[in-house]
Amino acid sequence: MAAGSHATAAGQSLPTERSTVQTTETLTRLRTRLIGEHDELLRQLRELGGEGDDGIDDPFAEEGFADTGQATAERVNLLMMVKSLRDILREVQAALERMDAGTYGICQRCGQPIAEERLEALPATRLCISCKRTR
C-alpha cells in the first residue's frame, strides 16, 4: 500500500488527504479565524438574548402582544437559531482547546492527520474527509 493511503476491505489503496497542518503560520492563521468566529458567535448570541446556557430572553414577553401564534412561531425560530449558534460555538471552542492541547488537525476517529485544505475550509472540523464520508 502506498504511503498516504488507506486500505479498503478488498485490499485496494485509496488516497488520503494530501497535507496536514505543519506550519506555525498556518496554525496561527487558523487560530485567528477560530477566535474571530468565536467572538462573532458570542456577539450574535448576545443580540439574540441567548448568551447564557439556560435559554433566551423572551422579546415577546410584553403584556398585550396581540398575536400569540405569531409570538410562538417567532420564539421557536429564535430558539432554533440560538441552539444552532451554541452548537457551532461549542465546536469552535473545542477546536481551540485541541490547538492548546497539541491535538488540532488530528482526526478524532482514525487518528490520522486532517488535510490542511479541509481545515482551511472548516477550521473547527474534528474528522478527516474519509471518516466524515463514512459517518
CATH number of the domain within which 122 lies: 1.20.120.910
Give, in order, the Cα–Cα distances in Å from 59 to each of 23, 26, 73, 79, 93.
46, 42, 12, 12, 28
Residue 5 belongs to a domain? no
Range with lowest mean pLDDT among 19-23, 76-80, 92-96, 100-104: 19-23
Place of cell 485544505: 117
Give the structural domain span for 22: 17-133
Q: Would you say residue 2 has pLDDT above 50?
A: no
83 or 67, higher pLDDT: 83
Residue 129 belongs to a domain? yes
Residue 3 belongs to a domain? no
pTM of the model: 0.72
DSSP 2-16: -TTEEE-TTS-EEE-
What mean pLDDT comes out for the span 98-108? 95
Q: Would you say residue 42 has pLDDT above 80?
A: yes
Q: What is the percent of the chain with per-residue pLDDT over 70, rounded to a whole number?
A: 72
As a whole number, the mean pLDDT across the chain is 81
Tally of domains within the chain: 1
Q: Would you say residue 5 has pLDDT above 50?
A: no
